[in-house]
């Protein structure tokens, strides 16, 4: 059996291998019943990763060309004479006698037709998230959005009227793909106030910050590339990395975020293409990376020439920490992007966490080379961010309107945090512990040893309370000892009662 792989080709190696084997099977070069080499043996012969062979074999199994028998190996299947080519598996269904005369419906072979990209998507993560958020929950600690009562409806109405009564955009019905120049300039000014040195050409307006993650993955990740992340992180980001067939490696965390003292060892071993991090008010843990760790992260990235994606959806929502003198930050943290000017950091943020989740407008700050490449990729799927949303954001950024709103918001959020922490201190069972966040939405609770988060969630739902289990955010999907509480979504008066019921459900 002769096999040749072109390592310079843009076609993934596993697809090349599957194609070579498919051609030999269909042509009869590999006869029916031929025993294929074991995965490890073939991987060693071809000098590829064993995963490459496993994926190739799986694709041929989906096409009903080969099959494996436990303890015996993998064999070429007999040809199905009803077709001219490889037959997809088509399970037969019993046909009622009244319909026997009608032709059998042959359904599409979905497992073969779906792309490799979509087949790598782990749908159960999304399903788990939806299950946690759906239903008739009385007190919802699960949803990753603000309380509807906190949405500044009067402000949005006022800025909308101003935005659409203005003649500033007459004759310019569409936006450039990078966003309106006026908005890019205001966003650059906004970032400079945060300590990030940039100008408009470093900024691209997005349809939400998740679009920025997707574009960065498309621009930089090849199948098999390594991405380092915090061990528990934003699960839609994990979905993007998985779908791109990236190798995701979780770096351990503590109460101050990613363990940067371990980071150089991870970079030396795995040579990541980039590091994805949420250093400020992290989702789901609420942790904030101290300045010394931020510097260490940047130094390691420079040394190993890997990029950093800084996701800063919650960075505006700083409301302090009572014990800031004992390790917390005395002032709002400076973004990683503000500590590095060579271009290694790509910064993402959004208006959806500070204004309303319905305002799907975000932005990326990056080197102009990155902005140009992302814009080129974006043209294939999304011509530009909604002009209506951009006009509203323009008005929000003018005259400090959004800053005033955020100031009011953080006062309310600080009170809810303090209420939640006081409730945990009063009702927590032995063995429970939690963080005290300096900002953002989330408190991360560690359950007593032996208590499973999904069991607690099931008991809480019967009482009308919901939250997110830690496994949704875990790189390995095995974390069953943590729960994430969004302490800004419930009504302030429900927080204590909800936490009391959660603690009672812990047992």
> Is 227:241 a contact under the CB 8 Å cutoff?
yes
Q: Which residues of the chain have pLDDT under 50?
A: 81-100, 124-127, 322, 324-328
pLDDT at 400: 78
Total count of residues recorded for the chain: 507
**Which residues neighbour 223 within 8 Å (Cβ) at sequence distance 6 or greater?**
12, 14, 244, 245, 246
pLDDT at 477: 86
Q: What is the 3-state secondary structure (H, E, C) of 301-357?
A: HHHHCCEEEEECCCCCCECCCCCHHHCCCCCCCCCHHHHCCCCCEEEEEECCCCCCC
Phi and psi, residue 230, nearest 5°: -65, 145
Does residue 33 come out as left (phi exceeding 0), alpha (psi in the -120 to 50 range) or beta?
left
Q: Quick check: pTM over 0.85?
A: no
pLDDT at 346: 97
> Is 231:248 a contact under the CB 8 Å cutoff?
no
Distance, in Å, from the CA atom of 193 to the CA atom of 182, rounded to the nearest integer, reads: 17
pLDDT at 312: 96
Distance, in Å, from the CA atom of 155 to the CA atom of 220, rounded to the nearest integer, reads: 39
Distance, in Å, from the CA atom of 225 to the CA atom of 456, rounded to the nearest integer, reads: 37
> Is 319:328 a contact under the CB 8 Å cutoff?
no
Which helix (H) or strand (E) element contains residue 206?
strand 203-206
pLDDT at 330: 64
* Rg of the chain taking only CA atoms, in angstroms: 26
């Amino acid at each position: 059996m002769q096999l040749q792989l072109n390592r310079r080709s843009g076609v993934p190696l596993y697809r090349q291998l599957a194609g070579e084997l498919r051609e030999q099977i269909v042509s009869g070069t590999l006869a029916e019943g031929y025993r294929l080499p074991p995965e490890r043996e073939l991987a060693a012969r071809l000098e590829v990763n064993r995963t490459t062979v496993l994926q190739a074999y799986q694709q041929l199994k989906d096409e009903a060309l080969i099959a494996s028998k436990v303890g015996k190996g993998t064999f070429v299947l007999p040809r199905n004479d009803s077709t001219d080519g490889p037959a997809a598996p088509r399970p037969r269904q019993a046909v009622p006698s009244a319909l026997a005369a009608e032709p059998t419906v042959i359904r599409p072979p979905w497992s073969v037709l779906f792309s490799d990209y979509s087949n790598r998507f782990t749908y159960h993560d999304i399903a788990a998230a939806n299950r946690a958020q759906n239903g008739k929950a009385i007190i919802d600690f699960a949803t990753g959005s603000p309380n509807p009562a906190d949405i500044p409806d009067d402000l949005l109405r006022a800025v909308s009227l101003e935005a659409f009564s203005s003649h500033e955009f007459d004759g310019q019905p569409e936006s450039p793909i990078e966003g309106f120049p006026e908005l890019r300039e205001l966003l650059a000014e906004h970032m400079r106030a945060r300590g990030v040195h940039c100008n408009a050409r470093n900024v691209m307006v997005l349809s939400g910050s998740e679009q920025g993650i997707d574009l960065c993955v498309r621009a930089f990740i090849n199948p098999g590339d390594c991405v380092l992340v915090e061990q528990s992180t934003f699960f839609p980001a994990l979905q993007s990395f998985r779908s791109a067939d990236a190798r995701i490696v979780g770096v351990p965390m503590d109460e101050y975020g990613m363990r940067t003292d371990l980071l150089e060892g991870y970079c030396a071993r795995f040579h990541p293409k980039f590091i994805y991090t949420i250093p400020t008010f992290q989702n789901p843990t609420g942790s904030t990376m101290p300045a010394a760790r931020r510097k260490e992260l940047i130094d390691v990235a420079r040394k190993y020439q890997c990029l950093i994606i800084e996701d800063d959806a919650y960075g505006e929502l700083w409301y302090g920490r009572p014990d800031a003198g004992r390790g917390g930050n005395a002032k709002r943290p400076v973004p990683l992007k503000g500590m590095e000017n060579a271009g290694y950091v790509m910064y993402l943020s959004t208006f959806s966490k500070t204004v309303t989740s319905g305002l799907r407008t975000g932005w990326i700050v990056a080197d102009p080379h990155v902005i140009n490449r992302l814009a080129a990729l974006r043209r294939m799927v999304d011509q530009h961010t909604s002009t209506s949303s951009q006009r509203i954001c323009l008005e929000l950024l003018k005259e400090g309107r959004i800053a005033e709103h955020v100031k009011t918001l953080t006062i309310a959020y600080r009170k809810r945090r303090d209420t939640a922490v006081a409730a945990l201190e009063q009702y927590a069972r032995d063995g429970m512990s939690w963080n005290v966040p300096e900002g953002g939405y989330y408190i991360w609770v560690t359950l007593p040893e032996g208590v499973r988060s999904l069991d607690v969630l099931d008991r809480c739902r019967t009482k009308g309370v919901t939250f997110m289990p830690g496994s949704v955010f875990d790189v390995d999907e095995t974390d069953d000892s943590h729960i994430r509480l969004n302490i800004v979504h419930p009504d302030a008066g429900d927080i204590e009662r909800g936490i009391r019921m959660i603690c009672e459900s812990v047992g």
